Chains A and B, each alone.
Chain A
Amino acid sequence: MRTVRVGIAESGVVVNPDSVTTLGLGSCVGVTLYDERKKIGGMVHVMLPSTELAKGGDFNKSKFADSGVPDLVDQMVRFGADRRRLVAKMAGGAQMFSVGGSGESILKIGSRNVEACRKALVGLGIPIVAEDTGGTWGRTVVLFAESGILEIRAIGRAKNQI
């Protein structure tokens, strides 16, 4: 049993009995997809809401909600998942700092990320069955391909399984 680690703006797909994890999500969102019958799970660590924010030509698909979520679906399908069976869970999208004035829109990046991930999933017809988003704290998340359970850990808070 292996745990695949996904970094910032990266993605990964695993099959039972493996799991996929990302450590220390702040304003970023960890979107997970799961095919219960095939026991295939995938995760993308989204940093920014939209490819419209990208400057320059080439960009990393896994970084943006509107490109990273569809790309994760494609990866899952290549692993043998059926896109009609996929269900989504997500965690993260916190506001790590609170200050007013300049930089206000940057500070709200967490909630914008959550909204964008939700929109991408709705657009693909994938139901969001659970989420642990918002707040002001960082999260480490693990998706178990065996069960589809997403486990969320944060400093000073009880472990949450969704």
Chain B
Amino acid sequence: MSGQVGAMQLDVLREISNIGAGNAATSLSSLLGKSVDMSVSRVAPMPFNEIVEYVGGAERMILTVFVRIEGGISGNILFTMNLPDARALVRHMTGVVEEEGFSEMGLSVLHEVGNIVIGAYITALSDFLGFELQPSVPSLAMDMAGAILAFSLSEIGRSGDTAIVMDGALSLDGSAITEEGASRLFLLPDPESFIKIFTALGVPTDADG
């Protein structure tokens, strides 16, 4: 399925991503008490190594909250934050200015923010698709983007070297969203999940769109 999704199916996935990431942005707005901008979701099949570049390069340090979902569909959800955005979030939530690295408290705030944001994404996804989704306990890592992404793609790697990336960029520090290295919410569905999504929504799957 992966890599052979037509234009119409991609439109459907884009809509799902907009709904999920949009709900996540709304939850973040109410948490922060200020508006959070989200870019229109990009949904595209991308080779693994291109995905790593998309997040800012293999060695770029990012903070990521990771959740695995199982149930009606399965896949990984990642909330990736660049360091300036993560610092802005901690400052906004606690008033603490993080300099080098992050304090225990800062990391725990980011972990909780990720939990809320991903939870909102999953709720919207579950409501829209009419699927029960069981999320894993969220986990936080601060490390090189390549290391985090390649791990997150390992299940998809069983089927090919390309993943359909569904993501929306979020502006967490109030500045404009830059394409490279923005903070993002990713849904990386397992390849088998696409057919389930299209079937649930009555989207034909044999046409090339």
Asked if A23 and B148 make an inter-chain contact with CB atoms under 8 angstroms apart, the answer reads no
B142 to chain A minimum Cβ distance, whole angstroms, is: 8
Q: Out of A27, A102, A155, which one reaches B68, CB within 8 Å?
A: A102
Distance, CA A48 to CA B155, complexed state (A) = 9
- Give the nearest-CB partner of B71 in chain A: A102
B12 to chain A minimum Cβ distance, whole angstroms, is: 23
Asked if A99 and B137 make an inter-chain contact with CB atoms under 8 angstroms apart, the answer reads yes
Asked if A48 and B159 make an inter-chain contact with CB atoms under 8 angstroms apart, the answer reads no
**Residue of B57, B70, B158 ringed by the most chain A CB atoms within 10 A:** B158
The answer to whether B11 has its CB under 8 Å from any CB of chain A is: no
- Give the nearest-CB partner of A8 in chain B: B48
A111 to chain B minimum Cβ distance, whole angstroms, is: 12
- Set of chain A residues within 8 Å of B142, measured between Cβ atoms: 155
A26 to chain B minimum Cβ distance, whole angstroms, is: 3
A60 to chain B minimum Cβ distance, whole angstroms, is: 6
- Set of chain B residues within 8 Å of A109, measured between Cβ atoms: 151, 154
The answer to whether B178 has its CB under 8 Å from any CB of chain A is: no
Asked if A24 and B155 make an inter-chain contact with CB atoms under 8 angstroms apart, the answer reads no
- Set of chain B residues within 8 Å of A96, measured between Cβ atoms: 66, 141, 143, 147-148, 151
Stretch touching chain B among A33-41, A50-58, A121-129, A144-152: A50-58
- Give the nearest-CB partner of A10 in chain B: B49
- Set of chain A residues within 8 Å of B148, measured between Cβ atoms: 26, 96, 138
Asked if B150 and A47 make an inter-chain contact with CB atoms under 8 angstroms apart, the answer reads yes
A4 to chain B minimum Cβ distance, whole angstroms, is: 14
Distance, CA A9 to CA B146, complexed state (A) = 12
A8 to chain B minimum Cβ distance, whole angstroms, is: 5
Q: Out of B61, B68, B143, B161, which one reaches A103, CB within 8 Å?
A: B68
Asked if A138 and B139 make an inter-chain contact with CB atoms under 8 angstroms apart, the answer reads no
The answer to whether B188 has its CB under 8 Å from any CB of chain A is: no
Asked if B146 and A24 make an inter-chain contact with CB atoms under 8 angstroms apart, the answer reads yes
Task: Contacts A23-B144, A24-B147, A24-B150 given; indicate if A48 touches B136 (C-beta within 8 A).
Answer: no
B189 to chain A minimum Cβ distance, whole angstroms, is: 14
- Set of chain B residues within 8 Å of A25, measured between Cβ atoms: 146-147, 150
Asked if A99 and B136 make an inter-chain contact with CB atoms under 8 angstroms apart, the answer reads yes
Task: Contacts A25-B146, A138-B143 given; indicate if A97 touches B59 (C-beta within 8 A).
Answer: no
- Set of chain A residues within 8 Å of B151, measured between Cβ atoms: 26-28, 96-97, 109-110
Asked if B136 and A101 make an inter-chain contact with CB atoms under 8 angstroms apart, the answer reads yes
Q: Bits for B115-146, please: 1 = Cβ < 8 Å to A, else 0.
A: 00000000000000000001011111111111
- Chain A contact residues, CB within 8 Å of chain B: 7-10, 23-28, 47-48, 53-56, 60, 63, 94, 96-103, 106, 109-110, 136-140, 155-156
Known contacts A99-B138, A101-B137, A103-B68, then 15 further A-B pairs from the complex at CB < 8 Å, ordered by chain A residue: A8-B146, A8-B153, A24-B52, A26-B147, A26-B149, A27-B150, A28-B150, A28-B151, A47-B150, A96-B147, A96-B151, A97-B140, A99-B68, A106-B154, A106-B155
Supply 5 A–B pairs (Cβ within 8 Å), ascending by A.
Answer: A7-B49, A28-B150, A96-B151, A138-B144, A140-B59
